[in-house]
Structure 1
Amino acid sequence: MTTNAVKICVPVCVRRASEIPEAMKRATEVGDLIELRLDYIEQNERDAALSLLLEHLNRADDSIILTLRSPNQGGRSSIDAQARRSFWRSLADLPTNWFADLELDLVNEFARANETTALDWRQVICSHHDFNGVPADLEKVYARMSATPARIIKIAVQANDAMDCIPIFHLFERAQREEREMIAIAMGPAGIMTRLLGPSRGSFLTYGSLDDESATAPGQLIAREMREVYRIDRIDRETEIFGIIGKPVSHSLSPHIHNAAFEAAKFNAVYIPFEVGDANDFMRRMVQPRSREMDWNLRGLSVTAPHKLTVMERLDWIEPSAKEMRAVNTIVLRDDELHGYNTDAFGFISPLRGRFGSLKHARCAIIGAGGAARAALWALNSEGAQVTLFARDPALAEFFARQFSAECKSNADASFNGFDVVINATPLGACGERENETPVTTEKLRGVRLAYDLVYNPLETRFLREARAAGCETVSGLEMLIAQAVEQFKLWTGREPDAAVMRAAALRGLNE
């Protein structure tokens, strides 16, 4: 594995002792420590599981954390407090590179009783989990845990928004000042930043799963992804931080694209997804240099739905085209100012320029009236194309269409015969519940030269299949995604990225 201080702990969660050797073998390939979740193992198999582990240690130097989690702290068995006490009291001396993860209640109980157990406090992790959110008295919880004789304290709270991570970073700072070894994690998709940045802020370790199915907490990333996509082993205090804000963002390919580009350019940076509900509050508390509540090396952001308009209120300068589109998808921190740009329009038009050359007088139909449609309409209008906007409710889209001299029609019973380009700017066909839907079928696309789907996942949408059956040339949304990402990278770094590297990374992400 790597030689730096980052330690990824991979949980092993199996039901039977016989499954442990293979699971541990897989875990050691990607992790630095192994956590054996004894609460997952059937009760009558636990002794056999421990015997297998001792045999394993005769052949390897792996560090192992034993965990027998109580039900109210996220455990998977109905074990009661007395059984937990008995288990830990019954253990023989642990090997020096093993740890025992005990919940705060047991640690306090053993410490108050001044019990002489087989456990060495230097090998004890005192843990506390809150699956409801971030407790108001988190600092007091930390203080109670810090007062125990346990060597390491572990705090895990549920993050419902990226801003819930702020108290965790404050705990990192406090633990560093007090020279206390600590693991702190915000669980859930909104807490991913704590898992990736924690080790560089002093966290004793971070957790990564073998795969999605074996994750032991919400938002737990796959260990291999942490190393290969986010390059966690290279993140340090000097690493420049970029990311994407939206809700949801877990589906985004942007971390794959930008992290690969940073690596190819040998740029000390990481790109992280930030799940944000209130963009205005996020900008104030975490982004704006004059008001943010944590010290981190944030240098730029991508912005996706539903925040492209909201963030504009918090920017110091916005490029004119983004103002016209009323949408910012890229933020750059320059000194103490926030500058806003829109690279969607450039990303959208690039594949069309490559195929048409000039789009002047080209007949173009846009289906949809959201943010993606506005960027497409602005770009096509700038190229001199003749644009018709097709919307479910033309009355709502009429105002925006008039700004750019475009017609606005209902997409009910629309026919696109004679159009040069038809663009799907709706979410229909995107991966998920609506993947098998399309805004138009083959019959309505006959006579169209090119069909362009702004959806990029899946790569082959139903809209594109229908268009191909109608004899149309097709363009996937991946081309727009890469083209706009290239422009973002240039704005953030002043460098030209390797677009081929970005595309290859996106395709890997789609195939995972």
Structure 2
Amino acid sequence: MSQAANSASRLCVSLARADLAALVEAAHRAAPLADLLELRLDALTGSAANLPESALKELVASLPRPLLFTNRPAWEGGQYQGPEEQRVAPLLAALAAGCAWVDIELRTEAALRNRVIAAALAPPRPGEKVPGRAIVSWHDFTGTPDATTLAGIVRRQQEAGAAVGKLVTMAHSFRDVLRVLALQELAADLNFPLIAFCMGDAGMISRLATCRLGGFMTYAAAEAGEATAPGQLPAAVLRQIESLIMARGE
């Protein structure tokens, strides 16, 4: 049985590779520790960045964990720098191919964001495993806003039609971390699944604590040196810490 099967936290391992074959290989290696695999399409280069729906279907069928497709724009900390219509197109194709999740940014132009959310809510087509679902995300790589601003973002994510909200900020102090983790109380009141933690060294502890406080999911790197965001822990380290906590609680 995989470590993921015995885990208390839902763990998404985030994978970014320039080459599709390398991405698939990394996904297979990371799968035993993961509940979900995030494929960062914005990291793909050349012809690999233009995946047809047939290739996406093959990915969904061949990889041993549910897949989350993300095509993060440069204006929200990612690598994609092209037209927005072209950025959103592979997310729609991934949904059509039967993926489990897509990530669409709250700050995406409303009409495009709504297209992705509507497609994620559509029932599965014949032969698809599950209907796609939309994570509506918001990232701040510079700091952490005040509590009122953070709460407003969570409410806007829910109002946008997100199945799950994701709010991630850069922490410069423990106060930043506490403000973000406290959002789980609002999320519980709203009955709204929320991913909320902080980046950076100060925020590292929140990547584990968030799930203990009701967070929907946390993220990890496949290996040391492969983080897709500042402060992201390797999956094996996060699972080891979690196992120690669970063992002490028995």
> Under TM normalisation by the shorter chain, which class is it?
0.7 to 0.9
Q: Distance in 1 between matches of 2:24 and 2:117?
A: 32
**Structure 1 residues 160, 87: closer, same or farther in 2, change over 3 A?**
same
Letter in 2 for 1:227: R
Q: Distance in 1 between matches of 2:117 and 2:150?
A: 30
1:174 maps onto 2:186 in alignment: yes
Per the alignment, residue 129 of structure 2 pairs with none
- Share of identical aligned residues, percent? 27
Per the alignment, residue 126 of structure 2 pairs with none
Task: Report the alpha carbon displacement of residue 47 of structure 1 after superposing the two structures with TM.
Answer: 3.8
Task: Report the alpha carbon displacement of residue 93 of structure 1 after superposing the two structures with TM.
Answer: 1.6
1:91/1:118 contact within 8 Å kept: no
Q: Distance in 1 between matches of 2:188 and 2:181?
A: 11
1:161 maps onto 2:173 in alignment: yes
Q: Distance in 2 between matches of 1:200 and 1:69?
A: 27
Per the alignment, residue 102 of structure 2 pairs with 100
Q: Distance in 1 between matches of 2:156 and 2:58?
A: 37
Task: Report the alpha carbon displacement of residue 63 of structure 1 after superposing the two structures with TM.
Answer: 0.8
Task: Report the alpha carbon displacement of residue 232 of structure 1 after superposing the two structures with TM.
Answer: 5.4
Unmatched runs of 5 consecutive residues or more in structure 2: 123-131
**Structure 1 residues 139, 120: closer, same or farther in 2, change over 3 A?**
same
Per the alignment, residue 141 of structure 2 pairs with 131
SS at 1:157's partner residue? strand
2:137/2:167 contact within 8 Å kept: yes
Letter in 1 for 2:19: R
Bigger relative contact order, structure 1 or 2, given CA contacts below 8 A and separation 6+? 2
Superposed counterparts of 1:425-440, under 5 Å: none
For residue 228 of structure 2, the aligned residue among 216, 219, 224 is 216
Q: Distance in 1 between matches of 2:172 and 2:86?
A: 33
1:155/1:185 contact within 8 Å kept: yes
Tell me the TM-score normalised to structure 2 length: 0.83
Q: Deviations over 1:362-417 (max 9, x none)?
A: xxxxxxxxxxxxxxxxxxxxxxxxxxxxxxxxxxxxxxxxxxxxxxxxxxxxxxxx
Q: Distance in 2 between matches of 1:150 and 1:267?
A: 36
Q: Deviations over 1:56-85 (max 9, x none)?
A: 443455111000001011112322323224
Superposed counterparts of 1:250-289, under 5 Å: 266-268=247-249
1:107/1:126 contact within 8 Å kept: no
Letter in 1 for 2:152: K
Q: Distance in 2 between matches of 1:163 and 1:56?
A: 41
Superposed counterparts of 1:41-440, under 5 Å: 41-48=44-51, 51-91=54-94, 93-95=96-98, 98-106=100-108, 108-110=110-112, 118-120=119-121, 123-136=133-146, 137-228=149-240, 230-231=241-242, 234=245, 266-268=247-249
**Structure 1 residues 218, 116: closer, same or farther in 2, change over 3 A?**
closer
Task: Report the alpha carbon displacement of residue 89 of structure 1 after superposing the two structures with TM.
Answer: 4.5
Task: Report the alpha carbon displacement of residue 212 of structure 1 after superposing the two structures with TM.
Answer: 2.6
Letter in 1 for 2:120: L
Task: Report the alpha carbon displacement of residue 20 of structure 1 after superposing the two structures with TM.
Answer: 2.2
1:154/1:184 contact within 8 Å kept: yes
Task: Report the alpha carbon displacement of residue 5 of structure 1 after superposing the two structures with TM.
Answer: 4.2
Q: Distance in 2 between matches of 1:215 and 1:59?
A: 24
Q: Which is greater in Rg?
A: 1
1:10 maps onto 2:13 in alignment: yes
Letter in 1 for 2:133: Q
Task: Report the alpha carbon displacement of residue 3 of structure 1 after superposing the two structures with TM.
Answer: 3.5
Q: Distance in 2 between matches of 1:27 and 1:203?
A: 22
Task: Report the alpha carbon displacement of residue 202 of structure 1 after superposing the two structures with TM.
Answer: 1.5
SS at 1:106's partner residue? coil
Letter in 2 for 1:132: T
Task: Report the alpha carbon displacement of residue 183 of structure 1 after superposing the two structures with TM.
Answer: 0.5
Q: Distance in 2 between matches of 1:208 and 1:115?
A: 25
SS at 1:212's partner residue? coil
Letter in 1 for 2:66: S
For residue 20 of structure 1, the aligned residue among 18, 23, 30 is 23
Task: Report the alpha carbon displacement of residue 143 of structure 1 after superposing the two structures with TM.
Answer: 1.6
**Structure 1 residues 40, 146: closer, same or farther in 2, change over 3 A?**
same
**Structure 1 residues 9, 141: closer, same or farther in 2, change over 3 A?**
same
Superposed counterparts of 1:414-493, under 5 Å: none
Task: Report the alpha carbon displacement of residue 216 of structure 1 after superposing the two structures with TM.
Answer: 0.6
**Structure 1 residues 107, 10: closer, same or farther in 2, change over 3 A?**
farther
Letter in 2 for 1:135: P
**Structure 1 residues 181, 110: closer, same or farther in 2, change over 3 A?**
same
Q: Distance in 2 between matches of 1:88 and 1:25?
A: 21
SS at 1:101's partner residue? strand
Letter in 2 for 1:80: P
Unmatched runs of 5 consecutive residues or more in structure 1: 236-265, 270-512
Letter in 1 for 2:139: H
SS at 1:119's partner residue? helix
Q: Distance in 1 between matches of 2:136 and 2:165?
A: 5
